[in-house]
Each structure stands twice: as C-alpha cells, then as structure tokens.
Chains A and B, each alone.
Chain A
Amino acid sequence: MSASEAALLSSTDVISAPDVARTDLRGRVESADSRIARDIKSLVAAGEMAAAHDRFVDLVAVHQRRACRIAMAYLGNPADADEVVQDAFVRVFQHIATYREDLPFDQWFTRILINRCIDRQRARARRDLRLVPLTEAAPQTLGHSLDSPERRVLVRQWREAIRRAVSKLPNRQRAVFTLCQYGGRTPAEVATVLGMREATVRVHLFRAVHRLRSTLEVWREAR
C-alpha cells in the first residue's frame, strides 16, 4: 500500500485500517496495518533498513489521522498532540522487533499512544503547578443567529469548556472516554487496548460521561 493510498484510506474513516482485512492460511483475520507491521518487522530483522523506513511511512499514513484526533482530544493542545504522535510512532519503530504478530497492530499502537499521552499530561501537570490558571469562561445566553460571529465565539468557548472538563478527568477515565468518544472504540476494544476488564471500562466511561454531562448539555444547546 502506498502512502497516498493509505492516506486516502485513513481519511475515509476513523478506524478504517483494521476494516481492510484478509484471512491468512490459518484462518485468522489479519488487518492491513498488521500485515504492514509484520513486513516491517521482517525487513528490520533482515537488516533492510531503508525498505523498512519506506514501509513504516505507509503504516504511519494509515494511523496518523486517528492518532492525531485521539492525542488532540486527550491533550487539548495541537503542538503537544503532534509531538506525542511522533513519539509514539518512533517508539513503535524502535520496538518493532517485539511486536506480536498474533495481536492486532492497532491495539498495540493505541496502547503506546495513550501511554505517551498520559506521560505528557503528567509532565504538563507538573509544569502547570507553577502557572496561574486562566479564569473559566462563564456560560452565556444562546440567542444568536446561526454562523454569526457571536455564535462562533460561543462555540469556541464551549469547546474550550469541554476541553477543560475533559482535562480534569482522572487519567484512566480520560483515556477510556477519549478512546470511546473520539477514537471510535467500543468498551470491549478499549478494555483490550488498556488491559482492563470490560466492566471496569464501562464504569470509567459512565463516571466520565456523568461528570461531563452538565458541560455536554450546554454544548448540545450551543450546537
């Protein structure tokens, strides 16, 4: 798969890559990205690094949009999200030799990405301890016409309010909520990615939505 094909594939759907699957000789369903990851692992083992780099760019193209969405939703800062996504991909390549071919690549990569997000968030929290927080934007009356400048400002405020509300969630809740809400994952898939029981994921998800509910309700009004 070329980079342009992968980019097209990734732009059509959030989780498009695992959907493009084929069945191997042993009857397992193997997704396109897992197949590419397996190829890269073989190339690295054979010492063909230039070819491995080329193939890895294809893999990045498959996952980067979804990864950017998740990181952006988790961190709320595009510069941090960009850096975290790059770090996650570099880490994947550095540890490609440990990739287990019997597991979907998508799960492995998402776990690495979320761990990088959590690490970045903790580092930022330590840094922000020395900073004075901004005053929270107060809700305003909704009575503006569609697409008016006032409404755009209002929508931006609500988006910021959502970002702040999500950023106040505990790490586990935030990871679960981000993957379900913005990563297009079911609780069962998130349980596999994060190594939790599905019931635990549901509890985290319920608590996260419950805590965000008031903000989300206002957000719905602002739509």
Chain B
Amino acid sequence: MRPGELPHPTDEQLIAWYYDATTANDELELHLFRCRPCASRRQELATALDADHDRTLAAADRYFGEARLARQREAVRDRIAAPHGRVLRFREISPAAPTVLRAVRRSGRWTASAAAAVLMLSVGAGTGWWLDGRARARMAPPTLESAASFASATLGHEHQDAVLSAIDTAVDRPQTAELIALDALTPRAGEQLVP
C-alpha cells in the first residue's frame, strides 16, 4: 500500500458497498480501481450475491405467476369483505341464555354426583354391616359347631374325650334339650342302608 492511500477495505465495507453503492466514497472507489486483489474480492462477492438474488427471485416468480397473483388478490378481497375475516367464532354461552350444551353439562354433573353419593352410601353400609357382623361374632357365646371345630383344631387326641364330655353336657342343658328330639330323628352313619 502506498503512503497516503486507504487500507484494503474490509468485508463489511464491501458488503455495505454491494447493497448501497452510495456508501462508497471516492477513496474506496479509487482503491478498488487500483488494487487488483480487492477488485477481485468485490467481484467475487457481487457475483455470488447476484446469482443468489436472480435464482431466488426467479423461483418465486415462477410460482407466483400472474394467474396465482390474480387469485391472491381475489382471496384478499373476499377476506376483507367478509365481516370477520378468517376468525373462527365459537358459539357464545351467556348465563342469561342457557344453551343445550350447558343443560347437558348440568344434568351430567347431577348424574355423576348422585352416582358418587350412592356409591359412598353403599360402601359405608357395607363396611358397617361387616364390622357389625365381626363384633357380633366376637360377642356371641361359642356354639357347638364352633366349639367342636375349635377343639379339633387346637386340642390333641388325649383331650378329645374331655371335649366330647363337654359337648354331652351342653346337649343335656335345658336350653338345648329341645334339640334332642331333633337329634333323634337324624340318621346315624351305622343306620344307613347300603344298596
């Protein structure tokens, strides 16, 4: 670079020059005229950007031909002439004028509430009945059957005679005397006829 001349322009300066030639001052133009490498850089940049510009706009113009542009104008005209453009409006639901949708929702809510209430009552009643049954079972005196099963499950063979004696005693009690007649009618295993 000779003394007094401008330094080589930066890429930024060349890009600014490409998009707005008025930004270039006389010194820059003179430098580009004299400096072959800088002129070559500018030419390369301009050629690449020109090519991109031409190809891109050509592709756009091929798609947006006159017929398509005319249709676009008609579409715009239709849209601005329409009362609400392309805005899709949903049906308004105001409290003053209940709609079928609202009624359906309300009845659905009541049905669901009733079903939930019935379910809770059923579960509560069932739980109460089950607890009541367990309490009664705990409070009730031992019956013959429960005594026998308890005895067979918990006692050994050496105590079976004592258990049977207790059963006989229970049978002989006045509260169970009425069952003796019924017991007499019950067939015994030895009395069964074998065909």
Chain A residues with CB under 8 Å of chain B are 3, 7, 14, 49, 53, 56-57, 60-61, 64-65, 68-69, 72-73, 78, 81-82, 85-86, 89-90, 93-94, 155, 159, 162, 180-182, 186-188, 202, 205-206, 209-210, 213, 216-217, 219-220, 223
Contact = CB atoms under 8 A, between A and B. Distances in A.
Contacts of B11: 206, 209-210
23 contacts: A61-B73, A65-B69, A69-B60, A69-B61, A69-B64, A72-B63, A72-B64, A81-B64, A86-B75, A89-B76, A93-B80, A159-B56, A162-B55, A181-B49, A182-B56, A182-B57, A187-B19, A187-B20, A205-B19, A206-B12, A209-B11, A209-B15, A219-B52
B44 interface: yes
Given A86-B75, A90-B85, A220 B48 contact: yes
A82 B72 contact: yes
A82 B48 CA distance: 27
Nearest to B47: A220
Interface in B43-73: 44-45, 47-49, 51-53, 55-57, 59-61, 63-64, 66, 68-69, 72-73
B77 A202 contact: no
A159 B55 contact: yes
Nearest to B19: A180
The 10 tightest CB contacts between A and B, nearest first, are A220-B48, A72-B60, A186-B20, A216-B48, A68-B64, A206-B12, A223-B51, A78-B63, A93-B80, A69-B60
Contacts of B80: 53, 56, 89-90, 93-94
A57 B73 contact: yes
A182 to B, nearest CB: 6
B71 to A, nearest CB: 9
B11 to A, nearest CB: 7
Contacts of A90: 76, 79-80, 85-86
The prevalent SS among residues of A at the interface is: helix
Interface in B75-133: 75-77, 79-81, 85-86
A188 B76 CA distance: 31
A162 B52 CA distance: 8
A209 B49 CA distance: 9
A94 B66 CA distance: 26
A94 B85 contact: yes
Interface centre among B44, B45, B51, B86 (most CB of A within 10 A): B51
Contacts of A7: 66, 69
Contact of A219 (B12, B48, B60, B81): B48
Given A181-B53, A206-B12, A72 B59 contact: yes
A68 B19 contact: no
A57 B55 contact: no
Contacts of B24: none
Interface in B141-191: none
Given A90-B86, A206-B16, 5 more contacts: A3-B73, A64-B69, A64-B72, A65-B64, A186-B22
Given A57-B77, A206-B12, A85 B72 contact: yes
